[in-house]
Structure 1
Amino acid sequence: MGQSVSRDDFEWLFTDQPHKDRREKILNLHPEIKELFGFNPTFKWHVVLLVLFQIITIPIVCQLKWPHLLILAYFFGGVINHVLSLAQHEITHNMAFGNGRPSANRWFGIFANLPLGVPMSASFKKYHILHHRYLSVDGIDPDLPTSLEAKLFCTTLGKLLWVVLQPLFYLLRPILVCPLQISRLEVYNVIIQFTFDAAVVYFYGWKPLVYLISGTLLTMGLHPIGGHLIAEHYMFRTGFETYSYYGCLNALTFNVGYHNEHHDFPAIPGCNLPKLRVIAREFYDPLPHHTSWIKVIVDFILDPSIGPYARVKREKLQ
């Protein structure tokens, strides 16, 4: 899907993001879509099972040799942790308990954070809101790569390194690009997470904690499931800033691949996004999309027309 064009700067646009306009048009033609709004009542139980499974495996993991531990983290434990990180995305949109119980969603997010090893739930909430509200706005949208990233990692080898280091950029970029005041919930998130981590080390040693954290970080980088971090907004076709993915991994990831649909209707839970696409097919079928996250990663690294510069940016209003 890449185009052979030279990229030495971002694609600067002076129009508003397309999702607001498309949402209005879809609702005018298909008002029945409002019936898809709400939350998924079974979602929280899936999350609980994943968290408990990761905790139950801790005594087993501490018996593994280090090479086997890291391999298992990459191919298995890390996949579960990545799914839990995408559960954070759903929880951020109040899909665990609904909009009427925001506090329950926030505390449930901290619970779902435990196997990840690093506190992220409360911080992800406030920065993800910026991503939706100010999509592609320079200096506000924390998902945008910085100019320094784009300059340093524009070659094939550089892009490979950038993909490997993507967890570092993803975690640090928000507080460097658009730092926000630390909330009380973030402090609680840190205290609870580090208490859990300390308990794991005290009772079972360092191996299980390394297993959990390494799995979290490895699957955000050069890993098939981590391909969604590139697929969602990197510009594989000039002028299109959001891309959906229609492939089998959606079954594991709460349909995060339906990304155009999600940005159009963030109030619709992941389980209902395929229904949205079917109802409003005339809007979504013409849009460029992905069918493989592995291909996304390969194309990003090897195609000279794609890289950190391949992003839409908008000027920040003064």
Structure 2
Amino acid sequence: MKKEHSGQLSFFKGVTYKFRITHDDDEWLYDEEPHVRRRQEILSKYPEIKALMGPDPRVAYFITIEVIFQLVMATLVSIYQPGWITWLILTYFVSGTVNHSLGCAIHEVGHNLAFGHKYGTANRILSLFCNLPMMVPLAISYKKYHQDHHRWLGHEDADADMPLRIEARLFSNPFTRLIWIFLHPLIYAFRPFIKAPRPITVWEIINFVVQIAFDLILLRLLGFRAFCYLTIGTLLGLGPHPMTGHFISEHYLFADQQATHSYYGFWNPLIYNLGYHVEHHDFPYIAFTRLPKLHKIAPEYYDHLPYHDSLCRVVYNFIFFPENGPQAHCVNSEDLSRPELYKNTPKGLIPDYYEKKDRENKTQSNGKPCLIKGKN
């Protein structure tokens, strides 16, 4: 007989979330459901997980390698002046991939997981350095608004990751959702300032000044083609790129009412294990290098949950299946005043649904038939 365990509790979205923090560099004290409930239970059963908590300074080495790589590539583009087709291939596949990876590194550093909570300035400086090849000043603002995402997961007026209602109206069919994918970098960048603007900080001004100075120097020294290699790389990497699937996979509702999903697959090393997203929300102060160990220590709390195994498939289903799209995002019950705009997926939806729909629509995809798989 299979032993029952409360680790199989679901991620109900009809709950209230709370959060306490007084300063950006303070340790984040979570008092939210369902993740805090899971965290407390997992820690009571596996107290050794506490040893996994804390920063991993090695992230600074990985960031340095990526930044230097991008600067070398931009220099080579400037020297050899490749044709526009070759330039576009390099920009999409190389710059887009590396710059997206750097964006995920900014997330890691934003949790103070490079040098710890005591060294907030060092974390910020590293994030500014990480930001340089992306050409857009976003590191400090991202840190500030990402805290709101953890504070108020699913709250319409506070969760910066939650789509605006106008997104649900405008991007409601496959063609417009494809446009949403292309516009994603701009939407993701400006949504927090529209949804829940907060005062601009000194560090945001520093981020802006440092980044613009770097951009102008690079443009002067390496020229327009190298400048565009990095800038367009950011727009493509955060837009119509397979790695963008992790933004969608994390909190959009697919085959169930689970508000947070993980992705286990090929891209995780490049996205700093952001695919381990249930694990990350359960334990936000465990560095990315230790999240797989967390999963291994407490498998009964993760193995039974539905998960994604293909980011390409995530993007494909987001675009082409009517149940998906910006409206299918986890929402706190307090925000369900307009359910027609933020509707849930059909009750009882199972992975086979997507395979059946594929057969009905006679569509094909390079991804696997089932978007989400779950182990029994």
TM-score normalised by structure 1 residue count: 0.93
Q: Which runs of 5+ in 1 are unaligned?
A: 1-10
CA deviations on 1:160-192 (whole Å, 9 max, x unpaired) are 111121111101101111111000000000000
Q: Which whole-Å CA distance do the structure 2 matches of 1:42 and 1:59 have between them?
A: 26
Match of 1:150 in 2: 168
Whichever of the two has the greater Rg, that structure is: 2
Secondary structure, counterpart of 1:165 in structure 2:
helix
Match of 1:208 in 2: 226
Tell me which of 263, 275, 282 is aligned to 2:293. Answer: 275
Q: Which whole-Å CA distance do the structure 2 matches of 1:88 and 1:30 have between them?
A: 29
Secondary structure, counterpart of 1:176 in structure 2:
helix
Match of 2:92 in 1: 74
Q: Which amino acid aligns with 1:267?
A: Y
Please tell me whether residue 238 in structure 1 is matched to residue 239 in structure 2. Answer: no
Match of 1:298 in 2: 316
CA drift at 1:123 = 0.3
Match of 2:278 in 1: 260
CA drift at 1:121 = 0.5
4+ runs deviating over 6 angstroms: none
CA drift at 1:12 = 6.9
Match of 1:53 in 2: 69
Please tell me whether residue 31 in structure 1 is matched to residue 44 in structure 2. Answer: no
Q: Is the 8 A contact 2:13 2:257 kept in 1?
A: no
Match of 1:87 in 2: 105
Tell me which of 123, 128, 146 is aligned to 1:105. Answer: 123
Please tell me whether residue 64 in structure 1 is matched to residue 65 in structure 2. Answer: no
CA deviations on 1:242-292 (whole Å, 9 max, x unpaired) are 100011211222111000000110000001000111111111111111001
Q: Which amino acid aligns with 1:13?
A: G
Residues matched between the structures, number: 306
CA drift at 1:15 = 4.3
Match of 1:228 in 2: 246
Q: Which amino acid aligns with 1:73?
A: T
Q: Which amino acid aligns with 1:217?
A: L
Q: Is the 8 A contact 1:13 1:312 kept in 2?
A: no
Q: Is the 8 A contact 2:99 2:233 kept in 1?
A: yes
Q: Which whole-Å CA distance do the structure 1 matches of 2:15 and 2:291 have between them?
A: 29
Match of 2:197 in 1: 179
Q: Which amino acid aligns with 1:241?
A: A
Percent identity, please. Answer: 43
Q: Which whole-Å CA distance do the structure 1 matches of 2:85 and 2:133 have between them?
A: 20
Match of 1:42 in 2: 58
Q: Which runs of 5+ in 2 are unaligned?
A: 1-11, 18-32, 336-376
- Once superposed, what is the RMSD of the aligned Cα atoms? 1.4
CA drift at 1:65 = 2.5
Q: Which amino acid aligns with 2:232?
A: S
